[in-house]
Structures are given as structure tokens and as C-alpha cells.
Structure 1
Amino acid sequence: MLSSEEKSQLVDALCVTAEAMGTTLSPGAAKMMVDDLARFRVDELVIALRACRHEVTGRLTLAAIMQRVQAADGRPGKDEAWSIALAANDQFDTVVMTEEILLAMSVAEPVLHQGDKVGARMAFISAYERLVCAARQQLKPTDWHVSMGFDPQRRVMAIDQAVLMQRLSPDVAKQTLISLAYVPMTENAQAIAGLITGEPGVPLPEIRDRLRSIRDTMLRQQERPHE
């Protein structure tokens, strides 16, 4: 929330911005706009007003300011979000996505699995825009998650790109890449590896039966030359 002094300064900034855009804004109207803008940070509002001066050709409106403040939160537009969601369907791809993309995709996925890509896109965009609108009203920061794919090279490329696009901090990216190098093997994988290394492992019952069958087959094949 803005302090009383910051609110007073914002009133002046709104009036000056309106004048720079070739219009006028009364102090009373500016104070009403400040009441709606007080939940944002000063730096966000300064950037939004600068963008309005450069981009808006008509009057300075609350909607124009809000649109630019919200666009600066880093959430992708609906078309980019849909593209990210589709990429996440490829199990080999590593994708960096927001919580809103993940939730919207859960709505669209059943339609997509039926082969209706157009319908899935419509369902996704509708859900995504509702989720983003709600998140922005609640002033939720954009939270980026890494969805790991099977291809190791694509993992590194996706994480590096996310850092360049300022979607992941270098520290988070570094820790993510480090964790990839130490993914523990499952019990089944350890047991199968034990066939090679000679070290014991305890597989699940169905895997244990399969390993026993393989071992018995190998033993029978070894005994046949001596028969």
C-alpha cells in the first residue's frame, strides 16, 4: 500500500502525465484513481505512467494504467501461455510454466485428448484468463515452475532460456540443474543395477518375480552345453 505522502505524489504525477498527453485531469479525479492504484508499488506505477505517455493516444484512464501495471508482472499472454501448455504435453520437453498455465491446462486436457485442438484452446484461454485476472486482483506474484522432461539436453536449454527471460533467477536455475545430477534411483532400478554390480537391491514383488525368471532362464541356458 502507498503511504499518504506517496499518494499525494501520485496525484501530482497523474495530473502531469495527463497534461503531457495533451489532456487535463482534475485533482479530484486523480484522487479517485489513486484510491484504486494504491495497492501497487511506486516503481510499478512509474513504469506504467511512462508507458501510457508513449503508447496511449487518447485520454489517460485508470484502465490504461492498470493494464500496463498488470502486464509488467511477467505472466504470459493467452497465446504464449497456450504455446507453453502444448509444449508441456511433450514428455521429452522441459517447460517452465506458471501456476495459471498448469491449472488452465488441466481444464483443457480432456478436450485435447479427444482430438479437438480448437476446443481445447478455447477452454484453456477461458480458464487461463479467469485465473490470471483473479491472481492479479489478489496481487499474487508470478510463480514459475519447472516441468522436467526426459531429454537432459532440453532440460538445460529450457532452464537457461528461462533465466535469460528473467522467469527463473540464476540461483534457482543453478539449484535446479544441480538437483538433476543427483536424482536417486528407484528401488527397482537399484535392483536391476545389482545384477551388473553384484550389490544387493530390493525390488518390488512383481519386479522380483521377473528378475527371478530371467535368472532361471540364464542358468538353464548355461547348463545346456553340459547336457
Structure 2
Amino acid sequence: MHYTFDFGFLLSHINELLSGLKVTIELAITANIMGVIFGFVLCLMSMSSWRIIRYPTQLFIEFFRCTPALLQIIWFFYCIPMMVNFFINPFLMGVLALGLNLSAFNAEAYRAGVQAVPREHLDACVALGLKPYQRIRFVILPQAIRTALPVLLTNGIGALQQSALVSIVAISDLMYVAKSIATDSYRPLEVYSVVALIYFILSVPFSKIVNIIERRQDAVAQR
């Protein structure tokens, strides 16, 4: 079978692709903000000494970590509106699904960071009379973020890539637009190749940052 590539036709669809890319970036940024903040809250709740807080939180984390992200997106999009009998903006539902999924994975990254805080630092907080929120803000959080940062960035890259799944529920992200163009033009090879390149370009810089941070952390640990 002979196939002639023609990427030129995509120039007439550049505005559509940019519009979809804008939605993808907005989804990824919003979900990452939610994941970074709520992930730390989940981490603290999962380490609580109160079982009534710890057990439900751990169950919540395991649910989002152990079920497919695609299933979570579909559930949020179709099931929640049926349960509350109220239509919710599809973009918001996509953010919630991606953000909660990312929060669950970030919670585990934070937990490893919190557990890496030296016991001596916590004892010093007690000796200085710091209140619990002061310990978290000035001692635990900065060290946990520093330790967990490579994993948080890696999870963030994953969230960017998983954002393509929202196309299944007709959110007009980059993947949804690409699917529409490929269907109309009968040229899926060119369309999906360009879209794959766009995701690659978006992800590579953050991947390089992760490598740099990991090398610096390894150098500090070896001193």
C-alpha cells in the first residue's frame, strides 16, 4: 500500500489545534494546582492519628490510585450529574477527575517526603513550642516538597498526558480536536503524528527539570 504524507493541509486547521491545545494546557495546569495542594492535605489526613480521618482518606487514595483514570473521568461526567440531578460544566468535571486522580498519587509522594523529615527536626519544633500548623508550614512542608518534587513533576507530566482522556466525553481538548480533524480529512497519520509531537514538546522540558533535580539531590545526599 502506497501512502503519501501531506502535512500541509493541517495549516488550514491550525486555529482548531491551537484552541484544543489551550484547553489541554488549562486542564493540565488546573489539575496540577489542585493535585499539589489537595495532595498535601490528603497526605496529612492519611497520616492522622485519628482513625475516623485516616481510614477513609487511605481508602480514597487507594480508590483513585487503583482504578483507571478513564473510568474515573467517565464516572464523573455521567454518574455525578445523575446523582445530584444537576448538569455540571464538562470542563469542571474533567478538572475534578484529573485533579483528584493526581491528588491521590501526589499524596503518596508527599507522604514519603514527610517520613523523610529527620526526627530531630520534629523534636526541635516541640522544644521551640511551635504549634502544629507552624510545624507543618515552616518545617514539614518545605522539606516534604523538596524531597517529593521530582515525583510531583513526574506526576504532573502524567496528568498532562492523561488529559487526552477527556476527549472521550467530548471535551474539546487537543485530542478531541485532532480526532475530529482526522475523521473529516481521512488523514489520521499526519494529524496524530503532529499531536504526538505537541505532547512530546510540552513534556520534555519538565522531564529534563526532573532529571536535573534528581541529580542535585543525589549530589547532596552523597556529601
TM-score, scaled relative to structure 2: 0.30
Q: Which has the higher contact order (CA 8 A, sep 6+)?
A: 2
Higher helix share: 2
TM-score, scaled relative to structure 1: 0.30
Larger Rg: 1
